[in-house]
Chain A
Amino acid sequence: MSRLEVRQLRKRFGGLVAVDDVSFSVEPGECVGLIGPNGAGKTTVFSLIAGETEPTSGSVCLDGRAIDRLPAYRRGRLGVARTYQRLEVFPDMTVLDHLLVAQLAHRGSSGIVRDLLGRGSPTATEVGRAEGVLQQVGLEAEADRVVASLSLGTCRLVELARALVTSPILLLADEPSSGLDVEESASMGALLGRLRDEGLAIVLVEHDLDLVAQVCDRAVVMDLGRVIAVGPVSDALGDEAVRAAYLGDAR
């Protein structure tokens, strides 16, 4: 049973078919690159998996369970975590707070009663776990800084740390390297590789094909909403149709 199985996913916005008959699967401990030129529908696929948009048709299964009718927050609690192409951080919060709020959200119930009884604050275990993840992504020095004052690259790490702190089973990483310099990008790649080796299933949307080649086992190439190639990264990138879509038709 695959960790994530996307079957014949289709999303229509008015007259535009943004995602058309997309199918692929991801196993635990596997990283799949979702690549393609801008406007190919990659981020829409992410939104459909994460539950931010409803598919027109098709299905999304997590560990064999259909999740495509669940609201985004339920999928989040089931272990689907994502980062965003356009940053979605909480600007007024500190880095550590991002990780604490993520764990509080994962407790499940809205917790109002627990709060009223005075037991709502993060526990020592939760704080410890947050600090552990910050160390893992190399943000421990920034823990108490307010996110609005951080650079774009650091904010991407904050998003990643926030996604990881809830121990997800599927990570959707949307262009994690954009805005990073070469060195930061390499360490991002190393981090994603480690996570994959620890058994996390990852879908990576990325324009930096070196990063894709470094981390991903397989690639799904999209263009104009459709999957035009699937397979091992080197094969997919060598495919004629892929080169045409990325570099323009040579003819």
Chain B
Amino acid sequence: MLSQALQFLFTGVTVGAIYALVALGFTLIYNSSHVINFAQGEFVMIGGMATVFLVGAGVPMPLAVAAAVALSTLVGMALEKFAIEPAGRASVVSLIIITIGASIFLRGLAQLVWDKKLHAMPPFTGDAPIAVAGATILPQSLWVLGATVLLVLALRWFFARTLLGKAMLAVANNRDAAQLVGIGVRRVQLASFALSAALGAAAGILIAPITLTAYDIGTMIGLKGFAAAILGGLGSGPGAIVGGLALGIAEAMGAGYLSSAYKDAIAFVVILLVLFFLPRGILGARGGERV
């Protein structure tokens, strides 16, 4: 019984780490612009698909990964530059709708540029599962967890120690005040899209060897990441991580102990419950404006 629970936990934590990275992407953009970027899932797709195709074309894996992250970052910046920025002072709802349009566009483009097939990516280091107390974990899961921890640490350092990071925090805190003290809000917004696209691509590359990748994987993973961000408290970095892990574990446990038929429903039931009983999420800001 214990080994079974441990197996569900391993599964949940692996998937949860990916949700956490996607949720962090949502959080970064939300903080700098109050936009919920529904194209976040497409960054995950671009990361995985670009890597698969570059490796297929004979590019060495590390180089392919770097190029895929760079490509996704460029797409993220282009999204901000050519879709969000020209909209100017449009309402947040309009901006969110723009991101939904962008997501459909990117999916269509991926279908044309690449193809409609599923693709498998070779794992970074071997396929042999590691047995732990009756449960098994894939080496790739360790990669996912390790890389997620590293990325989160890097983000912490970025926000605490760099000027751009601090500027982003300032904009998140109070956009108008930040602008008054001379912070280039536009530039910060662009940086947040770039950063969140890079995070998304990293998540897509890390998970692809476990789950396969295709042009249309972005929608579901984007929605799950969004659910994780809501669960953790939209706008909170640590909240995104806690929310992602909690959602992943809840899904795995739900599929294991309740019924696997409801697995996808769990994420959305979680959103509803959080919105009803804990509208600011687990670690969201307390107080402030109430609507």
Binding between chains A and B: no
